[in-house]
Amino acid sequence: MRRHWFYILLSLAAHDRHGSGIMRDVLELTDGDLKLWPVTLYGSLDELVEEGWIKALEAAPSSAQTKSDRLRWFHITAEGRRVLATEVQRMNATVRVAEQRLAQVKQR
């Protein structure tokens, strides 16, 4: 999975967001390491919609503080949550293997 897809899905796992809200959240989640420029973000959002992992909302959710018609709001789908959970499991397995390997190197 592409790194920016992972963070977009992770951002939407908390609650529905509009594009600039996703940008800010991903920047915060990565401690400033991953800045999603608009072209990358909106291209990725379109791809994630095509995959069926997120969906664009017709209108802002009722809980939204900003109700502008110009904002595009997104929601993670059940399939998107499943894919995200699978990716987290894969990442955890990778970390375990790396930790084991590093422990072996320390013992030498």
pLDDT in tens, 10-63: 999 999 999 999 999 999 999 999 999 999 999 999 999 999 999 999 887 666
Per-residue pLDDT, 66: 64
Q: How does residue 93 score in pLDDT terms, banded at 50, 70 and 90?
A: very high
Q: How far is CA 95 from CA 46, 65, 90, 102, in A?
A: 30, 38, 9, 10
Per-residue pLDDT, 64: 66
CATH number for domain 3-107, candidates 3.30.300.90, 3.90.1170.50, 1.10.10.10, 3.40.605.10: 1.10.10.10
Number of C-beta neighbours around residue 79 at 10 A? 12
Q: What is the largest CA-CA distance in the chain?
A: 61
Alpha carbons 88 and 92: distance in angstroms, whole number? 6
pTM of the model as a whole: 0.88
Read off the pLDDT of each residue in 91-99 and give the average, rounded to a whole number. Answer: 96
